[in-house]
Amino acid sequence: MAGSETAGTTKTAATTGETRPAVKCLVWDLDNTLWQGTLLENDELRLRPGVLKTLRALDERGILQSVASRNDHADAWPRLEALGVAEYFVLPHIGWGRKSDAVRTVAEQLNFAQNTIAFIDDQHTERAEVAYHLPDVRCYDAAEAAGLPDLADFAPTVTTDARRRRAMYQEKFRREAAQSEFNGPDEDFLRSLDMRMRIARADADDLARVEELTLRTSQMNATGVHYSDADLRALLTDPDHEVLVTTVEDRFGSHGAVGVALLERQPASWRLKLLATSCRVVNFGIGTHVLRWIADQAALADVHLEADFRRTERNRIMEVAYRFAGFNSKPCACQDGRAADTDAPADVQRLHLVPQRQAAPTTLTATGPVLWSGDGAEKPWA
Ligand SMILES: [Zn+2]
């Protein structure tokens, strides 16, 4: 599912006039590219000029970095550690196979399209081999290493979560390793993660992350409607609207902001205008938990719940979630006498639910602001 998140595009179009996706992962050769010298020849290895600055700059922008090197892993990895840069790399491929195979495998393991991968190597023959087998991968000469951060290809839109992206992938790989070693039902594995879900009223700092979520989560977005930063900012202070952001943590680390919901209060019903959840957490059922939590709050408030839904080619999973939660298309008295809707696109359906109290999930702990009365203080879902 992670690969269904569309790539961010570069801020400025390439010189061809077309916008191509920003690079999401750069794969480094080691000998005479990352470091000066050749490991096998027992050279005294040091990072090439400008390389450390590039590693740090790309890392801060959320661009992942990997390794494709012809060496023995057991010899090369300790050198990266000694140089203090091992932490920057995910999924290193240090061995004796073809570089194109290493680059392809990195793309597959990350679930990234090949046109979001870049490769840097001092050897023309290696670049040509990768370019031949993987024509969408962008190849760079080692001489360009110091200048990469200045290229538009390496200038994605940077968000709060982007700065943690590498750490989040490293946590994900540890989580997956734990899951593959776990013997027992999936539900027991989920409990073993010690997951905490927090639903909170969004503040201005959350909005960039929220906007990115609504752009990137096309499969998990119930309306396919994009709410801009300005749209949502205006609603933050609107007493009739709630902009809610969901974050999830577990014993491996934080998943960051993984969900956004936009709720409009009406006298007899609450209207869910936007519900989007990151594909990163679909296996944990976070979208369903958020939907059930909102239904529980609506039941406590004694109001009906409505949800805007627009079928797109990609969001069938959301339709299933709504239907499974009991939403349907039948008319209800709570809709009587309401002024015509002016801000919803014409092809948006209005789904409806008479909500019931919902039991808290058994696989995680959850907190959220009390929406139905009082000051909105955050309370455990119980
Ligand atoms: Zn109703």
Helix (H, G, I), strand (E, B) or coil at 67: strand
Q: How far apart are CA 156 and CA 146, in angstroms?
A: 18
Q: How far apart are CA 35 and CA 248, in angstroms?
A: 38
Measured in Å, residue 333 CA sits from the centre of ligand 1 at 6
249 within a domain of the structure (yes/no) = yes
273 within a domain of the structure (yes/no) = yes
Residue 3, pLDDT above cutoff 60: no
Beta bridge partners of 200: 245
Task: With cut-offs at 50, 70 and 90, classify the pLDDT of residue 204.
Answer: confident
372 within a domain of the structure (yes/no) = no
Q: Which amino acid is at 317?
A: I
Domain count for the chain, please give it: 2
Residue 1, pLDDT above cutoff 60: no
Continuous H helices in 111-206 = 124-133, 165-181, 186-192
Measured in Å, residue 134 CA sits from the centre of ligand 1 at 55
Measured in Å, residue 286 CA sits from the centre of ligand 1 at 25
* Portion of the chain with pLDDT greater than 90, in percent: 55
Beta bridge partners of 198: 247, 367
Whether residues 251 and 341 fall in one domain: yes
Q: What is the mean pLDDT of residues 202-230?
A: 68
Measured in Å, residue 330 CA sits from the centre of ligand 1 at 9
Domain end: 158, 184, 200, which one? 158
Measured in Å, residue 370 CA sits from the centre of ligand 1 at 21
Measured in Å, residue 310 CA sits from the centre of ligand 1 at 19
Q: First CA to last CA across the chain, in angstroms?
A: 31
Whether residues 87 and 196 fall in one domain: no
Task: With cut-offs at 50, 70 and 90, classify the pLDDT of residue 240.
Answer: very high
- CATH number, domain of 117, equals 3.40.50.1000
Measured in Å, residue 338 CA sits from the centre of ligand 1 at 12
Measured in Å, residue 200 CA sits from the centre of ligand 1 at 26
Please report the pLDDT score of residue 328 as a whole number: 93
Q: What is the mean pLDDT of residues 263-268?
A: 90
Measured in Å, residue 371 CA sits from the centre of ligand 1 at 18
Q: How far apart are CA 229 and CA 216, in angstroms?
A: 14
Measured in Å, residue 8 CA sits from the centre of ligand 1 at 39
Task: With cut-offs at 50, 70 and 90, classify the pLDDT of residue 367.
Answer: very high
375 within a domain of the structure (yes/no) = no
Domain end: 111, 138, 158, which one? 158
Whether residues 214 and 276 fall in one domain: yes
Whether residues 196 and 153 fall in one domain: no
Measured in Å, residue 240 CA sits from the centre of ligand 1 at 18
Measured in Å, residue 270 CA sits from the centre of ligand 1 at 9
Q: How far apart are CA 17 and CA 10, in angstroms?
A: 12
Domain end: 139, 158, 177, which one? 158
378 within a domain of the structure (yes/no) = no
Q: How far apart are CA 59 and CA 78, in angstroms?
A: 21
Task: With cut-offs at 50, 70 and 90, classify the pLDDT of residue 341.
Answer: low
Q: Which residues neighbour 350 within 8 Å (Cβ) at sequence distance 6 or greater?
A: 271, 306, 307, 308, 309, 329, 335
Measured in Å, residue 351 CA sits from the centre of ligand 1 at 10
Measured in Å, residue 288 CA sits from the centre of ligand 1 at 21
Q: Which of 224-238, 316-330, 332-346 has the highest mean pLDDT?
A: 316-330
Please report the pLDDT score of residue 7 as a whole number: 41
Q: Give the structural domain span for 83.
A: 2-158
Q: Which of 199-208, 222-231, 239-248 has the highest mean pLDDT?
A: 239-248
Whether residues 97 and 211 fall in one domain: no
Cβ proximity of 60 and 161 under 8 Å = no
Measured in Å, residue 327 CA sits from the centre of ligand 1 at 11
Region of poorest pLDDT, from 100-104, 111-115, 134-138, 273-277: 273-277
- CATH number, domain of 332, equals 3.40.630.30
Helix (H, G, I), strand (E, B) or coil at 136: coil
Q: What is the mean pLDDT of residues 204-216?
A: 68
Continuous H helices in 217-329 = 229-236, 286-301, 316-324
Please report the pLDDT score of residue 5 as a whole number: 38
Whether residues 198 and 112 fall in one domain: no
85 within a domain of the structure (yes/no) = yes
Measured in Å, residue 381 CA sits from the centre of ligand 1 at 24
121 vs 205, higher pLDDT:
121
Q: How far apart are CA 92 and CA 76, in angstroms?
A: 10
Measured in Å, residue 335 CA sits from the centre of ligand 1 at 6
Whether residues 282 and 138 fall in one domain: no
Measured in Å, residue 190 CA sits from the centre of ligand 1 at 35
Measured in Å, residue 308 CA sits from the centre of ligand 1 at 14
Task: With cut-offs at 50, 70 and 90, classify the pLDDT of residue 12.
Answer: very low
Whether residues 361 and 255 fall in one domain: yes
Please report the pLDDT score of residue 309 as a whole number: 87
Task: With cut-offs at 50, 70 and 90, classify the pLDDT of residue 212.
Answer: low
Whether residues 103 and 133 fall in one domain: yes
Place of tokens 């968000």: 159
* Portion of the chain with pLDDT greater than 70, in percent: 87
Measured in Å, residue 269 CA sits from the centre of ligand 1 at 6
Measure Cα distances from 82 to 60, 77, 87, 171, 241 in Å.
22, 9, 11, 22, 53
Cβ proximity of 344 and 308 under 8 Å = yes
Whether residues 80 and 16 fall in one domain: yes
Whether residues 42 and 169 fall in one domain: no
Q: What is the mean pLDDT of residues 354-379?
A: 91
Measured in Å, residue 342 CA sits from the centre of ligand 1 at 20
Region of poorest pLDDT, from 53-62, 223-232, 346-355: 223-232
Whether residues 92 and 233 fall in one domain: no
Q: What is the mean pLDDT of residues 258-274?
A: 90
Measured in Å, residue 185 CA sits from the centre of ligand 1 at 38
Continuous H helices in the chain = 51-60, 73-82, 99-110, 124-133, 165-181, 186-192, 207-216, 229-236, 286-301, 316-324
Task: With cut-offs at 50, 70 and 90, classify the pLDDT of residue 85.
Answer: very high
Query: Per residue in 130-146, pLDDT tens?
Result: 999 999 999 999 999 99
Measured in Å, residue 295 CA sits from the centre of ligand 1 at 13
380 within a domain of the structure (yes/no) = no
Work out the mean pLDDT of the chain and round it to a whole number.
86
Task: With cut-offs at 50, 70 and 90, classify the pLDDT of residue 345.
Answer: low
Q: What is the mean pLDDT of residues 162-178?
A: 88
Burial of residue 261 (number of CB atoms within 10 Å: 0-12, 13-18, 19+): buried
